[in-house]
Structure 1
């Protein structure tokens, strides 16, 4: 089963691995996302908000509204503002998190979005794409369980020295040692991916975000707060929810909408939206407060899926722990991608051994031509033998991957549409 699914499974795992560090890839690609950590003291929400209003007012394209402000992911990141234009298309602006200085802009369809949508649903319609990708998590769990049966006494393999005598033992030992060290990762990815599948088909936790505006103006249409109102909200948030470390501020996107401060508090393994305090955008009155530690078990399981799946569970401990947890996931994502490749290669070697065994039992003269064609005694022939066994599935999955990448290059990447 692993060989049959290897091409698409490898693609899904590889894009997931890059998704873990996709924000960092954007940081490398866009100078506007970078600041010197020595110049940053704290996140000045008021300064960034005021400068965002000023910059959007200067744009040639009419701005419909500012959608959200996001604190830096790391001390060397800038603050990010997302706004919508008159056509409801999203754009990004970047500001110094302490001074509010405008640093530049960026596309909504950046590297982070590219890897996210590619990994999450292969750029297919959401339900279809998420179902396909999440179903592979069941395959990962099946491969995990079967490997414990096939690799007898696997617990002895953590520190077993690989043998390098020839290709067969070299790749086999490498595959096994990486596999046993990756068992925990396979389990986490398999379980969280299976949960995404269950959520898509009816097991999703009920929504907990229930704040609504109370003033007439805000009820009738989405209203942006004034600078004074935002300052009042920040003060109330610090008093009423002192444990909240604000990571993002979201502004009303429809009539009756609120200004929501979201971030991390005492609850572990929850997304920023789990901890929030919300305000009427006109009166600055607090209308809703939510602490992730008060959630039901069902909701906590749902909230834990993303931090566990993408390795951002370290964010509650600070920027250093956040970066380390993501780096750990990236390394084991590379390992898992390598397991997909080496597993297929080992299968090709196995096919070659069978071909050699069959040939040796017959007359050498009668089967001379068969031996040359069937025995994959080079890396090329090894891959050829493995892919021949995959059959038409290989062509189908390869076509799907090429189509996905081609469409993504056209739509999402900077040189695209």
Structure 2
């Protein structure tokens, strides 16, 4: 008779070893991703702060302001190909009109709803665009950037699970202040305390990050489905091609959208989405979803609403798909949630670095336990990826600049350019210094 085999559960010490190994091998890249994500959370606010053209004294914005922004760009740049009109955040932001100039350059025009005038233009590169591209895909990173970023969400979840099995949280431990018997004891206690208070945030970021990995994998490798209904082939239901031509004015088409979904607060108008004029926004009945969860496709030649989507009518899978972004970036509750996400984003950035340093210091007296070659290779690879990301970023920024008479012209406000350069420089210095500290800390002590 065959003997039954019992499942061997990892011992408590092994969970810590796995957690520490993850910290050493992924800590530096995890810092880069979390650090950039923290700034991505408040990137619109940084744009508002650094570019005076985006500020407005308006107290409210409605559909007539979106139409006025469209008409203002039409008057000042009649040869421009207007792509999209966006309400950026709240009423004290100018509206953004994205268009392609006569020279073919993507440009943002900002329309102040208070003065009803264009307040300025800038190239496609903004603080928001920079951090979105950096955090989402490391500026593309040769086609694998999004996978590279999302894989670290798996590492984040594995790190969280391993430490929870090793260090089971109790209510008392949430209020244990860091020990001060030694420097290493203090930082170790602080790391554990901050980690405990960040569990909820780690879960939110980890789960949504793993979801992004699944979404991208499904689109690229599985059944190619990335949205519920759209004009593209990767939608579950692809809309038919509309009749050609835009016989009706944007004002008439907006009125048609309002009639089709009276409760929709329009936040975005796209002039050509697969031939349709596309409206997206928010409703009072839809909670924690991005704008495109509620959308309308209007046929431009007839004004007919070919498709109307309310978030509340979506299947659970696709409703969750539209919840991931607001949860990941905390932009669903105004300044309160954004402040929380920034605070805990900075904590997560700190935890990414402090854990590996403490583990190495703890083992420095036992050099046989430290694989310095693995450590060195990990640091070099992380710095190499970071460096190549900056190269990709420089190429992407150059491509975003407008072309006039065959030459690229820098149309970025000086405060924006200065901030992005300083952020990049500081991030690079942190990574280099931290990598050097880790290698020095791994040296055996006498």
Pick the TM interval, shorter chain. Answer: 0.7 to 0.9
Counterpart in the other structure of 2:234: none
CA distance in 1, matches of 2:363, 2:131: 35
Give yes or no for contact 1:213–1:281 (8 Å, CA) kept in 2: no
Give yes or no for contact 1:259–1:278 (8 Å, CA) kept in 2: yes
Structure 1 residue 330: Cα displacement: 1.2
CA distance in 1, matches of 2:255, 2:325: 30
Aligned runs of 1:94-113 on 2, under 5 Å? 94-113=110-129
Structure 1 residue 174: Cα displacement: 0.9
Structure 1 residue 405: Cα displacement: 2.1
CA distance in 1, matches of 2:241, 2:77: 25
Flag the 1:153–1:192 CA change in 2: closer, same or farther, 3 A.
closer
Flag the 1:41–1:411 CA change in 2: closer, same or farther, 3 A.
closer
1:284 matched to 2:269? The reply is no
Which of residues 367, 376, 382 in structure 2 aligns to 1:397?
382
Give yes or no for contact 1:246–1:264 (8 Å, CA) kept in 2: yes
CA distance in 2, matches of 1:331, 1:37: 29
Counterpart in the other structure of 2:266: 246
How many residues were matched structurally? 366
1:172 matched to 2:157? The reply is no
Aligned runs of 1:256-405 on 2, under 5 Å? 257-265=275-283, 266-312=285-331, 314=332, 321-354=333-366, 390-405=375-390
Counterpart in the other structure of 1:366: none
User: Per-residue displacement from partner, 1:346-403 (whole Å, max 9, x unpaired)?
Assistant: 1232123436xx9xxxxxxxxxxxxxxx9xxxxxxxxxx9977612121111121122
Moved more, 345-354 or 7-16: 345-354
Flag the 1:389–1:107 CA change in 2: closer, same or farther, 3 A.
same
Which of residues 118, 121, 130 in structure 1 aligns to 2:134?
118
1:234 matched to 2:250? The reply is no
User: Per-residue displacement from partner, 1:90-115 (whole Å, max 9, x unpaired)?
Assistant: 21000012443110001212221211
Counterpart in the other structure of 1:8: 29
Counterpart in the other structure of 1:29: 50
CA distance in 2, matches of 1:45, 1:205: 28
CA distance in 2, matches of 1:242, 1:169: 60
Give yes or no for contact 2:253–2:300 (8 Å, CA) kept in 1: no
CA distance in 2, matches of 1:208, 1:269: 19
User: Per-residue displacement from partner, 1:201-237 (whole Å, max 9, x unpaired)?
Assistant: 126454312556754x42xxxx4x76xx333333333
User: Per-residue displacement from partner, 1:159-196 (whole Å, max 9, x unpaired)?
Assistant: 12222332122101111111011101111111111111
Q: Displaced runs of 4+ in structure 1, greater than 4 A?
A: 40-43, 203-206, 210-215, 385-389, 413-416
Flag the 1:88–1:198 CA change in 2: closer, same or farther, 3 A.
farther
- Structure 2 unaligned spans of 5+: 1-21, 231-237, 399-411, 421-446
Counterpart in the other structure of 1:162: 178
